[in-house]
Amino acid sequence: MKALTFQGEGDVKIREVPKPSVAASNDALIKVTLGAVCGSDLHILHGHTPMNPGTILGHEFVGVVEEVGPEVKRFKPGDRVVSSFFTSCGHCTLCRKGWFNQCVEKGTFGHGEYFGGLGGGQADYVVVPNADHTMEGIPDGIRDDQAIFVGDILSTGFFGAERAEIKPGDVVAIVGAGPVGLMATMCAQLFGPAKVFVIDMVDARLEIAQELGGIPINAKEVHPVGAIESATGGIGADSSIECVGLISAIDTAIHCVRGGGTISVVGVPSAVQADFPYLRMWLKSLTFRAGWCNVQAYMRPLLELIAAGRLRPEKIISHRMKLEQAEEAYRMFDAREATKIVLTP
């Protein structure tokens, strides 16, 4: 089968590789019908993730079940499914507490040996371990190019918005209008805010944010913290959702929030450590939350919201390409020539 593989820093290539097969009793073999390129794929491209050459890439995918192991109960061949970007067992202590992303057995697709040695979804086929707990069935009427987002970035946007504790009438600031920031812009509005400001430096992304109901702030033109202060009578936003991961963006997320407000960070941090404004957090009674999405808890409700027409995540797709064009897709996404690229095998 064909698969996109990591070769070394800055080097990904389409290669012919062996088709994977069901090995464990809870595995499912999926014929991929759509994959997507994600910001964390760029971390891999740039050599920031420990990866062996030859590793198959891709952690955002939907497909059709081709074969299941004997212990898989919820799925059968022919079912359309979306997978979370990571596996969870569903029965360890942390899964039973509802924190599936802290599962003791978790692995991440397309991230190499260090993250569990799973296959990747930028390929013709992928094996999903712990299939009953890692996948959701796609309801009739939901297209692949909608369902694919519940496995990662739509869930992440919702998780960020939920943890920002948005109340009706609130002012929300979203830092970053990349794919996750745009998803957060959509999801924040489910909680009834009066205004959602979206901060970025790329006009094309800010235009989509505006189409999704956000109020764009171009950080190249104005200081974003000052702009939000002057739009709120000098007070600041009630909450912020950080969707970039750069320390400067996390700083903006902290400083644009009013006293008593909440900061919710979902961007993948670009540094291991940085200064933290402890005194400001204390003086202003701020709540700071950070973390990566607990996807398995959100896939089903988000599929329902898509089915009901209340979320349209496919609006952020800027390019639809073939898997064979994945190398070019990575180049374009890295150069910010594309907002979101989906790949058809």
Nearer to Zn ion, 44 or 142 (CB): 44
CB of 60 to Zn ion, least distance (A): 5
**Element at 334 (helix H, strand E):** helix 326-334
Nearer to Zn ion, 199 or 266 (CB): 266
Residue nearest Zn ion by beta-carbon distance: 38
Q: Which of 122, 108, 110, 118 lies closest to 44, judged by CA?
A: 110
- 3-class DSSP state of 93: helix
The CA-CA-CA angle for residues 81, 156, 257, to 5°, reads 165
CA distance 22 to 29: 6
Nearer to Zn ion, 92 or 204 (CB): 92
Name the residues that contact Zn ion, by CB under 5 A.
Answer: 38, 40, 88-89, 92, 95, 103, 152
Nearer to Zn ion, 218 or 270 (CB): 270
What the block records as the tokens of 86 is: 């990571």
CB of 85 to Zn ion, least distance (A): 5
Cα→Cα distances 287→96, 146, 263, 273, 297, Å: 26, 33, 6, 19, 23
CB of 183 to Zn ion, least distance (A): 11
The owner of tokens 């109340």 is 167
CA distance 73 to 98: 21
CB of 334 to Zn ion, least distance (A): 14
CB of 309 to Zn ion, least distance (A): 24
Nearer to Zn ion, 127 or 268 (CB): 268
- 3-class DSSP state of 314: helix
Specify the DSSP class assigned to residue 50. Answer: -
One-letter amino acid of 94: L
Nearer to Zn ion, 85 or 197 (CB): 85
CB of 82 to Zn ion, least distance (A): 13
